[in-house]
A and B are shown apart, each in its own frame.
Chain A
Amino acid sequence: MSSRLSTTNLQKRYRSGGGWLEVLRGVDLSIADGEWVAILGRSGSGKSTLLHLMGGLDQPDGGEVRFDDRNLSSLSEWGIDRYRNRDVGMIFQAYHLLPELTALENVTIAAMLDGGPMCWLRRRSQAKARAAELLEKVGLADRATHRPNKLSGGERQRVAIARALMNAPAVLLADEPTGNLDPETGGEVMAVIEALHQGGQTVVMVTHDDAIADRADRRVVLEKGIVKG
């Protein structure tokens, strides 16, 4: 399988107190198309930082992230925004839905961000139909008009998954998607992700949970900022 997303000697450090905290010390990782990779590690091992760098949310201090052979660091600000919008979809532990919008609007907004007003007006009905279809796919067709505060944790996370899939991204980046959920609800969310993977979706998932990691194609363990083993 060809490599879709990769990191080479990826480094990241943060200022901490008077000095620097080395979070990633040279991570080499390659994600193949259609692969499900679980990233494990203890708290502070750099899992979320690695995911943020792969998602284009932050800039590395050394090394590079490549997507389809393009170095993210060489992209313009606009190019990075476009990458986050079209090429990757992100799911967070805390869901990060916009509280003012309904479930349907939260999903649709990802499409609204892709292109200007005229572009949106042209494909508005198409986008709304896809958002409704995605909500149905994650089992929330009857919750489309509900705002996040009227949804349970599991339902919110499924809306977040639908939003991440809205622009049909090549890679789904999930940062502990079941971290805030009870085992039963977490199982429902994982079932959705598993189904997506079986449909060919590339998934990179950060998790603490070995049981969840076991369902992935590959496990990558981070320890003190480097890939173990």
Chain B
Amino acid sequence: MYVLLLISKYLRRKLAPLFACLAVVLCTAMVIIVMSVMMGFLAKLQSSAQRLSGDVIVQAGSITGFEGYEDLIERLEALPEVAVATPVIDVPGLVKIGTRSIPIAQVVGVEPTGYDAVVGYAGTMYWQDHHRVALHDRIYGDPSMQSEAELALRAEWEQLGFERLGAELRVPPGWQQRIDEALPVSGAIVPGLEVSPYNWRDDQGEYDFDRTLANDGSRVILTVLPLTRSGGLLEPETRAFATVNEFKSGLYEVDANRVYVPLDVLQGMLGMDEGIAIGEDGLPTGETIPGRVTEVLAKSADGVPLEAVADAARRVVNEWELDHETSVFTITWQDRHGRLLSAVANEVRLVVFLFGVTSLVAVFMVLITFWMIVRAQTRDIGTLRAIGASRIGILSLFVGYGLAVGVLGAALGTAVGTWIVVSLNEVQFFLANYAGVTTTLIGSVLVGAAGGAVIATAIGFVNQRMRWWLVRLTPIVAVLCFVPLLIGVAASADFASWLNATIRFEMWNPQTYYFDEIPNQIDAPAVAIVAVCAVLSSTLGAVIPALVASANNPVEALRHE
């Protein structure tokens, strides 16, 4: 019982264990943050990759695609393991929006309804009705509009482009060509949110549509290279598309490079649509040429494991290949993104391992602290032994002390780490936008206090009233430094903006990483394992000093100075 009493007293009245506790807190929080971000990164990458590919992909051996996809889809959908399948054309193309050109964009032709059923495409549409309403209100409320006619024309134009904000990939019924447009719009397009140069992200992380730059923004010029069935290159095909919405997958690379267009339109552009064969004499032969696609994506039925779906699909595809005398590949979403996913998984393991090893510093910190504590408590150990405490009792006192420090440190570290992980995007946002003003104001207080302390110390050396001067000058000079800056920041928005622009820390750039936000998912079992490891590490650090304490000779301990 005395062990519990003394541990509780030591924890409350000793400064040294607080440092050991702080080391445990910092190491626990550090590992939780790193692990959560890295594992969240991997999890988000996996879910995004799956969302973009469906579960099973049947892909053509070449960019020219394959025929008979309708039959393949029918056979796949007949499988109990497959819920739904959809045809896709995935080819490179040149995309031009306003002033921006993307030379090797990913042009994806889809049947919106079927594609949505497989990958949840409709859920990635960014612009919703409330955006359209807000845009309409802004146009009508903008005093820079010169005339009623201009206002009405601009508003009509803006609204038409967003009249249908669904994912149907259909040009709105009321769409009107502008008379100066050389290339007529031949279909609807849904680009990634980062494709357009006119989208920009505001301070809250929301995207906004800058209408003043958007005079041509809803028109997308798409150029693709049609190929013959044998792979021969034909003349590039260029068409204009009307933007009916934009998607946000969360993967920056995809959002900045991919556009969706209707499957039939893309088939037409690439010469992959169904048609009548032309003979050598240039006349129709009467034979029908089937349409082609480059991929068929399939979604597994609920509860069916991925490998079971893939095996069933492979069996069906093999039969289909024989019937159609063609050759395709059947892969899972994991196969398609395997290289990237395994590279990131390795990276996650490596980083977590390295930070885990770094956290051993907590063990040494606890060991050193407890070594010092045992040295400082030697006489108390002697006293306890003199009044009947056993060696086991002394051992359990210090091991228990280490355990208590570990439990306290792990609990606080888990709380701090979890809070930081959950608030990481807000913290990043704050550092990127308000670090300048914040650090300047805090810095002014610290510099002022330090300056005041130096002056007080100097005066104190002369008139021996150092404490008197310290107590007065330190806060006064701190306030004198702080107040002018506070007034400057409050009075001048430009000054505050300049400070925030000059001193900023952007720890996450979505253009460098795959995602536009820092992954911040908490994996509760992993966090629990980290907390348990922290407790064990702290206890381990206390074991050697505890053994030394228990081995102390009582007489020598009582004589210890």
Contacts and interface: CB of A to CB of B under 8 A. Distances in A.
Contacts of A120: 1
A116 B390 CA distance: 12
Interface string A76-118: 0110011011100010100011111100010001101110110
B299 to A, nearest CB: 61
Contact of B5 (A77, A84, A105, A164): A105
Interface in B365-385: 379-380, 382-385
Contacts of B13: 100
Contact of A57 (B4, B6, B391, B554): B554
Contacts of B390: 77-78, 81
Contacts of B186: none
Given A57-B554, A96-B383, A120-B1, A113 B9 contact: no
A128 interface: no
Contacts of B554: 57-58
A128 to B, nearest CB: 12
Majority secondary structure, B binding face: helix
B64 to A, nearest CB: 81
Contact of A109 (B5, B10, B558): B5
Contact of A84 (B1, B6, B379, B388): B388
Contact of B1 (A58, A97, A117, A163): A117
A55 interface: yes
A113 B555 CA distance: 19
A110 B388 contact: yes
Interface string B378-404: 011011111111110100000000000
Given A52-B555, A58-B553, A109 B386 contact: no
B379 to A, nearest CB: 7
B468 interface: no
Given A58-B554, A58-B555, A113-B2, A90 B9 contact: no
Contacts of B10: 100
A98 B3 CA distance: 13
A109 B13 CA distance: 18
A113 B6 contact: no
Nearest to B10: A100
A63 to B, nearest CB: 17
A157 to B, nearest CB: 14
A86 B389 CA distance: 11
A112 B385 contact: no
A57 B388 contact: no
A109 B9 contact: no
Interface in B327-355: none
B236 to A, nearest CB: 85
A96 B391 contact: no
A163 B2 CA distance: 14
Contacts of A167: 388
Interface in A142-156: none
A46 to B, nearest CB: 13
Contacts of B387: 84-85, 90, 109-110, 113, 163-164
B495 to A, nearest CB: 53
Query: Most chain-B Cβ atoms within 10 A of its Cβ — which of A92, A97, A163?
Result: A92
B386 A90 contact: yes
A105 B384 CA distance: 13
Query: Most chain-B Cβ atoms within 10 A of its Cβ — which of A85, A92, A109, A114?
Result: A109
A195 B308 CA distance: 91
B385 A100 contact: no
B203 to A, nearest CB: 52
Query: Most chain-A Cβ atoms within 10 A of its Cβ — which of B1, B5, B389, B391?
Result: B1
Given A92-B558, A98-B380, A101-B9, A109 B2 contact: yes
B31 to A, nearest CB: 33
A82 B387 CA distance: 9
A101 B4 CA distance: 13
Given A84-B387, A84-B388, A98-B383, A112 B555 contact: no
Nearest to B389: A113
A114 to B, nearest CB: 7
Contact of A100 (B9, B382, B389, B555): B9
Contacts of A57: 385-386, 554-555, 558
B386 A55 contact: yes
Contacts of B5: 101, 105, 109, 112
A109 B203 CA distance: 62
B1 to A, nearest CB: 4
A180 to B, nearest CB: 14
Contacts of B391: 77
Given A58-B555, A98-B380, A86 B385 contact: no
A96 B386 contact: yes
Contacts of B379: 96
A105 B2 CA distance: 10
Contacts of A100: 6, 9-10, 13-14
B123 to A, nearest CB: 59
A105 B553 CA distance: 24
A209 to B, nearest CB: 21
B380 A113 contact: no
Interface string A46-82: 0000001001011000000000000000000110011
B113 to A, nearest CB: 70
A100 B10 CA distance: 7
Nearest to A115: B1
Interface in A188-225: none
Given A57-B555, A113-B2, A120-B1, A86 B383 contact: no
B382 A96 contact: yes
B393 A113 contact: yes
Contacts of B382: 96
A57 to B, nearest CB: 5
B558 A113 contact: no
A172 to B, nearest CB: 13
B14 to A, nearest CB: 8
Contacts of A114: 388
A22 to B, nearest CB: 17
Query: Most chain-B Cβ atoms within 10 A of its Cβ — which of A112, A117, A167?
Result: A112
Given A98-B384, A116-B1, 20 more contacts: A55-B386, A57-B558, A58-B554, A81-B388, A81-B389, A84-B388, A90-B386, A90-B387, A92-B386, A92-B558, A96-B383, A96-B558, A98-B380, A99-B380, A100-B13, A105-B5, A109-B2, A109-B5, A113-B388, A117-B1
Interface of A: 52, 55, 57-58, 77-78, 81-82, 84-86, 90, 92, 96-101, 105, 109-110, 112-114, 116-117, 120-121, 163-164, 167
26 contacts: A52-B555, A55-B386, A57-B554, A57-B555, A58-B553, A77-B390, A84-B385, A84-B387, A84-B388, A85-B388, A96-B382, A96-B558, A98-B383, A100-B6, A100-B13, A105-B5, A112-B1, A112-B2, A112-B5, A113-B384, A113-B393, A114-B388, A116-B1, A117-B1, A121-B1, A163-B387
Q: Which 6 A-B pairs have the closest CB atoms?
A: A85-B388, A100-B9, A112-B2, A120-B1, A96-B383, A113-B388
